[in-house]
Structure 1
Amino acid sequence: MQQRIINTRLFGIVCAIIISFFFALPNLFPDIPTIIINNSDATELQRIEQHLLEGNIAHTWASTQHVQFTSVDEQMKARDYLNNFVAPDTELTLNLEKNTPSWLQSLGAHAMKLGLDLQGGIHFLLEVDTSHIEKNKDNSTHQQIKDHLKTHKIRYTEMTELDSGTLEIQFLNESHAAKALEALNVYSERYHLEEPQSKTLSLTKHKLDDDAASYAVNQTIHSLEKRINELGISEATIQRQGTHHISIDLPGVQDIVYAKKIIGKTATLRFQMVANQSTGEQSIPNSEGIPIPLEPNIVLSGQSISFAHAKISEGQPLVEIRLDGQADDFYQTTTERVGDRLAVIYSETQNDALIEKVISAPVIKQPLADNFVIQGSGSIQEAKDLALLLRSGALAAPVKFVEETTIGPSLGNDNITKGIVSLAVGSSIIFIFMAYYYRVFGLIANMALVLNIVMIVAILSLMGATLTLPGIAGIVLSVGMAVDANVLINERIREEHSAGLGLREAVKTGYDKALSAIVDANITTLLVTLVLFSLGSGAVKGFAITTCMGILSSIFTSVIVTQAFTDSFIKLGWIQNVSLSHDWFKHVPRIDFMGLSRQAFGFSTVLLISCLMILPLKGIHLGLDFTGGQQLTLTTNDQTTAEDVRHALSIIGAEQSQVQTYGSSQTYMIKIGHSESAVSSTAEKLTQLLPGSNVLQAEFIGPQVGSSMLTNSVIAVLVALGVTMLYVAMRFEYRFAMSAIVSLIHDPILILGIFSLTQIEFNLIALAAMLTILGYSINDTIVVYDRVRESFMTSLNLSTEEVINDAINQTLSRTVLTSCLTLAVVMALYCFGGDYLHGFSLSLAIGIIIGTYSSIYIAGSMAVKLGLKRDDLIQQPAETGELL
């Protein structure tokens, strides 16, 4: 029976391995940058081919209209080059075509999407202004209240809306006010009605119309999706973020000015008859500034337009319009008004101001049906933009750009290389050590670690997740943290074998006893990661997703997979004894940690006081994520110095900017506080003033977003501490939970103090690392607590101090090995992951050292000081007596 269970388990594991490799396989076939050529004939295609050859741009033709390139950089270069030569009505659409073999695609296997930091592109964060919806709702409700009072024959003298949203109504006397209180109770869902004060009744609004605002945001997302699809951008990501924000990622796009122009416009068309000067109630200027008088009624709105297409006819740009078949009144009006002029009015909202112009006012020569054309566009590009906006429809609410980022494709390729190298180096450190130190058991652990990486990639691919540089960092960290379970298991097997158990018994007991600590430690880290995911955004979410997947897959691979393979190898005779290398920890040390707790508390107190003094004196160098502003990464020629960059910044009015080298002597990180000019304008002016320079990355974050992120970060830390304390209290005992929290609070204060002392930038990804350290630190603490509970069961004559001392000593080998290996992986990330991850890596490295120290000296000592006893953890059997 047991043999059948083992075989079934092994079969299931093999199936899981095959499936994981199968769904991870598409990531070996990256998407191919492509330009799709529309509205072109054979002659035009031949001209394009000739121009590509003359421009020395490497390319291949996948079909008659699809040109493929070796990189996004080459694709962008080709598009910009060809735009100078192609015919006016020829459209060049950027695309990233799938390269996954068709047989894999047919089975549902797809590669992960790459984030903008890995392939370049544009990121926007839009704020949707829904205030007008609430205002309209208020106006409607106020009119209903007036009508309601009139119906009940209750006279009032004045109705006033205060800035706070409270509606005050003045009545002729107190009697009318009392009657109004009773009559207006039907509006209690929207207003809180207070008892009348003399002749005044106050209605305080207490419930916003969230449904209407949410509908407006969702409709705006729908319109934006249509616009972006019309632009031909593949793999674009549009997500709602919070209640009033929309996140947009446009991979491969570099023209931020044009993207903003198309995405942010709330433009639409309407048609009105031109009136005589004497009868016109409204006048709107045409493109030449001449006012055109209009009749008040709208003959046709833009909502009736189902399709619009730009074209050139007899050298003039036109927009061909197709209606939805529901515009019978339009046909009837144009039939009756043949010979009159029909105005086409273009409306757009810019900076909260409505801008309108008459783009044409032709004479109606015949009744207009469902298909007609409009003239008046200044160029074919203007006609194309207008057609695109008409096809996608007007936005349901105005939007404001509160965050912008442009990442060049060359920087994306560099980030991919850095991420892969850091993953390869970090994994190699783990693999070499595990094979050397644990022999065959180490090789099995290495197999599990490789499978862990493959499973993470497969799960992310199945989820359709987007891989970012912080996401790669999360995978690297997952490998470092996954080794913890393997070390814990192997050290347990060593202990049980040293205690006299045979091979099979030592392996079985080692896995059984390690399981509780592994599950508890990983669940606490998982809870912290979920807090990161729920409260974070952008880079933090990418890191949280990969770390979360890494934790789940590492439990499976490190426990279930390794045990199944170990049992099979023992059965096959490939493992005949517990040979776990050089026995660096052959004997359990006898260090009196509790005896050193007084000195440790004194040392920690000095460190904490020092950090709390440094923080207000030097402050923390907050990144753009928290402060808002503009940040640019600029490469220059060899002759350009930092002073030249500062001089150029002073010319464009950004004298208070920070300039520092970034990675190399000719690459500069520029940080500009709140500026009136757009980040794209700043980048353009800098490259003009500094010949030979190139902006690799440009980023803008609005001050309100930075403030919100800072608030969310504080909330994330507090929630993570609360969740951790609750779980430890449930699994162990409240004194352990309080001790763990004291230990955890100790860690971030020291980390922030070091960041303040070194003035290394503290950004969102560094915060993510600090929160991850909370999970990592509690891992160590839980392993000790788990051993304390076990020791209380077996060591009946030892005091609490002695039990905790023994628990720390018994788990010291696991603590040292895991901390050193994870630290080595983090240092690989620091050395090879690039400047962007320096704050992240430093935060992790400091946190690992501090977390290891606090879990040894602080957590256990605090439990003793709080009065922890055996009875608090071990339930004593009820005493029974005999009747005499």
Structure 2
Amino acid sequence: MNRYPLWKNLLILGVILASLLLAWPNLYSQDPSIEITAARGAEVTEASVGEVRAALENAGVPVKGIEVREGGKLLIRFAASSDQLKGQEAIERSLSARYRTALTLSADLPGWMRAIGLKPMNLGLDLRGGIHVVIDVDMDAALDQALERNLGDVRTQLRDKKIRYQTVTREGARILIKFNDAESRDAGAKALSREFQDLTVQTSQDGDQYLVQASLPETEQQKIKDFALEQNITTLRNRVNALGIAEPSIARQGERRIVVQLPGAQDPGRLKEILGATATLEYRLVDTEGSVADAVAGRVPVGSKLYYERDGKPILLKRRVIVTGDQITDASAGFDGQSGSPAVFVNLDGQGARRMRDVTTENVGKPMAVVFIENRTTTETVDSKPVKTTRKVEEVFSVATIREPFGSRFQTTGLDSSNEAHNTALLLRSGALAAPIQIVEERTIGPSLGQDNIDQGLFSVLIGLGLVVIFMGIYYRVFGMIANLVLLLNLVMIVAVLGALGATLTMPGIAGMVLTIGMAVDANVLIFERIREEIRIGNSPQASIAAGYNKALSSIIDANVTTLIAAVMLFSFGTGPVKGFAVTLTIGLLTSMFTAITCSRAAINLLYGNKRLKTLPV
């Protein structure tokens, strides 16, 4: 009666073994480590490894291991946090400013685990440490950009309709168009109202001047602000994902702010460099006819613009842009097939590809330049107060002769290093920010504080588990010990699923684990009490076991489904910490259904199935 078929027992055993294997990496320690990356224009090489090793030896700091990782990163492991801090001081004193150091934690896994892709759970900001940043979005700049676009579109529309006008200017939050007569004014107002439905168009007269005012209504201004904020969130998420940080949290806060939480990141400089950068490219033809010397002296030819290459050499380029960064659909870093130098491979959209093909077809044999444009924010001390200033930097980093026509895909060379090529491709691929941003709050949580949270959370789980184990063992005897065994298995499976899904464990997640312990054993309590009731009414032990599991199943499912509905609502409407609690609770509900019903039944079947029993140790 109470016996599973062989295939079912083997399936349960396979699930248990797989869970143990996936949870195994979490038993290994997280070593205090330092991650070294190269700043712009530098690379981590074997010489860098030697410098780091020599600096640590001279400072008398013991090292557990040094390894070079993918992406040009150097990881130094230490046995204690005190050695980690001393090592960072020694490295920063010895290495030049071209290298950045970041404190982190790194799991000390065996090679075979890494080879098959096993890894421990991702830990949240409160457990692992990391960076918490609050970003303010310049909404006024977003409105200014929208008005500037409308300003150019208004001029183009009036010219296309062949409506004569005197001037088109911008005064604050409105566009003012002056006409010579009322007929032109009325025609212009009618054309603009039909073409620009998002603008409020009004006509007026000031003496002999006939005016049309176009302005953005409040509802449209709010739409522009909301779009700028959402676009910036999307762009920041793309950039953070490209950095390889596990489970970043990027969320809107209020009307104009964005909160970014990066677990495990310990390098605010690197973060601000990537998040705040607004890089793009422009492709322009070189003006080979104009005089560079005259341009430097202030006599720039009409239709051209003076630029400077990275080495400071002046160069004259055509004002007309071939393609811009917003026409780039994808970008990746690599190396030039002929010279082996770092390169960025660029893909253009349909319009940009046609434009590039037409220009390169007409200008074979002529030079074309690539202009790198970036807004850089620097902090200077003025009157003993830090003052942030943002300046637009335009550099020509590549000038090459057009050998043959090309269109949608091509490469750009002339970069200083593969690290710069990677960063440039990252910024181009993630898109430009819709409005400028400024970091207004920044907190770095060290790994040592995270370890304290882990220790306290683990202690709470052990206390809760220990009390449940003692109660179940005393009250339900052998059956209670089986329930304790599957309860431990339930915790193992939760950890395994979190690691396999790449989910992040936070302090609220640990709270979800503690709650799951009580809910998981509750299912066994219902089953065992039902078995007791069946025995009291005179059923045989074997029939009581079968009836206990069968009759308690509906109550267990009802209880778990109602809790699951609450967890889904918490995940749908909650924020970061609440979502972490909901995820862990949901996983715990699903695993407890398997362990409390299927696994405990399998264990009881193996011990008492198809045996003549007079009593049950329950």
Query: CA–CA distance in 1 between the matches of 2:168 and 2:79?
Result: 68
The correspondence for 2:251, drawn from 224, 228, 241, is 241
TM-score normalised by length of structure 1 = 0.49
The 1:94–1:390 alpha-carbon spacing in structure 2 relative to 1, beyond 3 Å, is farther
The answer to whether the 8 Å contact 2:307/2:316 transfers is no
CA contact (8 A) 2:252 2:258 kept: yes
Cα 1:51–1:242 change in 2 (3 A) is: closer
User: How many angstroms does 1:507 deviate by?
Assistant: 3.0
Q: 1:484 to 1:151 in 2, by over 3 A?
A: same
Between the aligned partners of 1:349 and 1:148, the Cα distance in structure 2 is 37
Q: Indicate yes or no: 2:417 matched with 1:417.
A: no
Consecutive unaligned residues of structure 2, counting only runs of 5 or more, are 69-73, 203-211, 287-291, 309-313, 336-340, 347-355, 379-386, 404-411
Q: Which runs of structure 2 are paired with 1:176-215 in the superposition (5 Å)?
A: 180=190, 208=223
Q: Contact conserved, 1:217 with 1:396, CA < 8 A, in 2?
A: no
Q: Structure 1, residues 13-56: CA drift from partner, whole Å, max 9, x if none?
A: 22222221121122223454555678677776555434323433
Q: Output one character per residue of 1:451-477: Cα deviation in whole Å (capped at 9) or x when no partner.
A: 110110111011011222332222122
2:151/2:170 contact within 8 Å kept: no
Residue in structure 2 matched with residue 393 of structure 1 by the alignment: 427
Q: Aligned residue for 2:95?
A: 86
The answer for the alignment partner of 1:68 in structure 2 is 77
Equivalent residue of 1:84, what SS? helix
Specify which of 107, 112, 127 is matched with residue 118 of structure 1. 127
TM-score (normalizing by structure 2) = 0.66
Q: Does 1:251 align with 2:264?
A: yes
What displacement does 1:433 show?
0.7
1:513 aligns with 2:522: no
Match of 2:490 in 1: 452
Residue 185 of structure 1, CA deviation: 6.5
1:264 and 2:298 are equivalent in the alignment: no
Please list the CA deviations of residues 688-733 of structure 1 after superposition, one character each: whole Å capped at 9, or x if unmatched.
Answer: xxxxxxxxxxxxxxxxxxxxxxxxxxxxxxxxxxxxxxxxxxxxxx
Q: Distance in 1 between matches of 2:29 and 2:613?
A: 41
What is the deviation of 1:112?
Answer: 1.0
Higher RCO (Cα < 8 Å, 6 or more apart):
2
Change (3 A) 1:153 1:448: same
Cα pair 2:3 2:610 within 8 Å, conserved: no
Q: Look up the match of 1:25.
A: 24
Letter in 2 for 1:56: G
> Is 1:221 aligned to 2:237, yes or no?
yes
Distance (whole Å) between structure 2 residues aligned to residue 448 and residue 83 of structure 1: 50
Alignment RMSD (CA, Å): 5.7
Residues 502, 80 of structure 1: alpha-carbon distance in 2 compared, 3 angstrom cutoff: same
Q: State the shift of 1:490 in Å.
A: 2.2
What residue number does 2:407 align with? Answer: none
**2: distance between equivalents of 1:60 and 1:3?**
54
Instruction: Give 1:540 deviation, angstroms.
Output: 2.5
1:515-530 alignment, distance < 5 Å: 515-530=553-568
Once the two structures are superposed, what CA deviation does each residue of 1:381-438 show, in whole Å capped at 9, x if it has no partner? xx99988864643761133436543212221222222222221121111001101001
Q: Take 1:529 and 1:501, find their aligned partners in 2: how far apart are those partners?
A: 39
Q: Amino acid of the residue matched to residue 24 of structure 2?
A: L
Q: Which string of whole-angstrom CA distances, capped at 9 and with x for unpartnered residues, describes residues 314-343 of structure 1?
A: xxxxxx9857698988994689xxxxxx99
Give the match for residue 289 of structure 2: none
Q: 1:566: Cα distance to partner?
A: 2.8
Correspondence 1:497 to 2:538: no
Matched residue, 1:51:
55
> SS at 1:51's partner residue?
helix
Q: How does 1:602-751 map to 2 (within 5 A)?
A: none
Q: Distance in 2 between matches of 1:100 and 1:384?
A: 29
Q: State the identity %.
A: 30
Q: Does the 8 Å CA contact 1:268/1:348 hold for their aligned counterparts?
A: no
Cα distance in 2 between the residues matched to 1:438 and 1:29: 35
CA offsets per residue over residues 273-303 of structure 1, 9 Å max, x none?
Answer: 78345436999999xxxxx999883889996
Identify unmatched segments of 5+ residues in structure 1. 230-234, 287-291, 310-319, 336-341, 375-382, 581-884
CA distance in 2, matches of 1:278, 1:157: 30
Q: Which residue of 2 aligns with 1:565?
A: 603
CA contact (8 A) 2:105 2:128 kept: no
Deviates more, 1:471-480 or 1:214-223: 214-223
**1:559, 1:515 → 2: CA distance?**
8
Per-residue CA shift, 1:815-835, capped at 9, x if unaligned? xxxxxxxxxxxxxxxxxxxxx
Hey, what's the Cα distance between the residues in 1 that align with 2:420 and 2:11? 57
CA shift, 1:108, in A, is 4.2
Give the aligned partner of residue 590 of structure 2: 552
Q: Does the 8 Å contact 1:130/1:216 carry over to 2?
A: no
**Residue 546 to residue 192, structure 1, CA distance change in 2 (3 Å):** farther
**Partner Cα distance (1:323, 1:456) in 2:** 43
Aligned CA distance change for structure 1 residues 300 and 67 (closer, same or farther; 3 Å): farther
Q: Which has the higher strand share?
A: 2
The counterpart of 1:355, out of the listed 373, 391, 400, is 391
Q: Which moved more, 1:120-129 or 1:440-449?
A: 120-129
For 2:608 and 2:572, how far apart are their aligned partners in 1?
44
Deviations 1:165-198 (A, max 9, x none): 999999979xx79x959x967877x68999xxxx
SS of the aligned residue for 2:609 comes to: helix
Check conservation: 2:528, 2:548, Cα contact below 8 A: yes
Hey, what does 1:589 align to over in structure 2? none
The answer for the alignment partner of 1:10 in structure 2 is: 9
Partner of 2:475: 437
Structure with greater helix percent: 1
Partner of 1:109: 118
Q: Contact between 1:268 and 1:389, CA under 8 Å: does it hold in 2?
A: no
Aligned to 2:299: 279
CA shift, 1:512, in A, is: 3.3
Q: Which residue is 1:463 aligned to?
A: 501
Aligned length: 533
Q: CA deviation at 1:90?
A: 6.3
8 Å contact kept, 1:36–1:93:
yes
Question: How far 1:567 sits from its partner (Å)?
Answer: 3.7
On the 8 A contact 2:137/2:438 being kept in 1, the answer is yes
Q: Which has the higher mean CA deviation after the structures are superposed, 154-163 or 115-124?
A: 154-163
Q: Matches of 1:499 and 1:126 in 2, distance apart?
A: 68
